[in-house]
Amino acid sequence: MKKRKPLVLTNEVATPSNFAWFKKNIVIVPVVAAIIAGSFTSIKYVLNLTDTVYANRDRLDGFSMNMDQSEKDITDLRNRLSRGEATWDMAENIFQQLANDVRDMAYDIKDLSR
């Protein structure tokens, strides 16, 4: 017969093999993988969102500069239009005064010819 080893009682716990640990925790592995993948996706989304915000801010700054330039151009056009209208009014007044002077001269010529 075979000789048996004597049974020795100790407080040490035998470490399970990696396969035994994997088999025991088969449910935890996909959960951890999902958490890691979700974290990576969330971080990537936040970074892309941050890039989008910065790009839109730069674009809005460009629009703001264009709008400021457009407002200056509009102000310049309004000033030119006002000067043009003033010139037109002045020309009309001069024309009326000239027409009145010519009419007065016509009356004077009629009076002289009598």
pLDDT in tens, 12-68: 666 667 777 777 777 787 888 899 999 999 999 999 999 999 999 999 999 999 999
pLDDT given for residue 14 in this prediction: 65
- Write out the two tokens for 30: 């996909």
Q: Is residue 49 part of a domain?
A: yes
Q: Is residue 33 part of a domain?
A: yes
Average pLDDT over residues 70-83: 96
Q: Please compute, for residue 53, the number of CA atoms within 13 A of its CA located in the half-sphere on the CB side.
A: 6
Q: Is residue 16 part of a domain?
A: no
Q: Would you say the C-alpha torsion 79, 85, 88, 89 has a positive or negative sign?
A: negative
Q: Is residue 69 part of a domain?
A: yes
Q: Is residue 42 part of a domain?
A: yes
- Write out the two tokens for 27: 């449910």
Q: Is residue 78 part of a domain?
A: yes
Domain count, the chain: 1
In the chain, the amino acid numbered 34 is: A
Whether pLDDT at 77 is above 70: yes
Range of the domain at 32: 27-85
Share of the chain above pLDDT 90, in %: 61
- Write out the two tokens for 43: 């971080």
In the chain, the amino acid numbered 26 is: I
